[in-house]
Amino acid sequence: MTERKGTTFQDARAQAERRFQAEERQRVRAAVQCLAHSQPDNPIGWLWLARGILRQQTSVERRRAEGAAATRRP
């Protein structure tokens, strides 16, 4: 088996994306644990948390779409 030296741009991008997703999951998990511990029966807190998560997801998706559009060549 041959060993590759270095990584391609796609490999590095995929690795960065996996790392970013893992960090996002960790942030969401921490926010949920914090809210569950401090105010488990606060429906407004849960709604704000859900709203924040959804806004973050749409922001990430928009950045991905912009990045994909920027890398495409006519």
Q: What is the pLDDT of residue 73?
A: 57
Region of residue 32 (left: phi > 0; alpha: psi -120 to 50; beta: else) = alpha
Q: Give the count of alpha carbons within 13 A of 71, CB side only.
A: 9
pLDDT tens for 14-66 read: 888 899 888 888 888 888 888 888 888 888 888 888 888 888 778 878 887 77
pTM of the model: 0.54
Q: What is the pLDDT of residue 66?
A: 79
Beta strands in 1-74 (DSSP E): none
Region of residue 3 (left: phi > 0; alpha: psi -120 to 50; beta: else) = beta
Domain ranges of the chain: 9-71
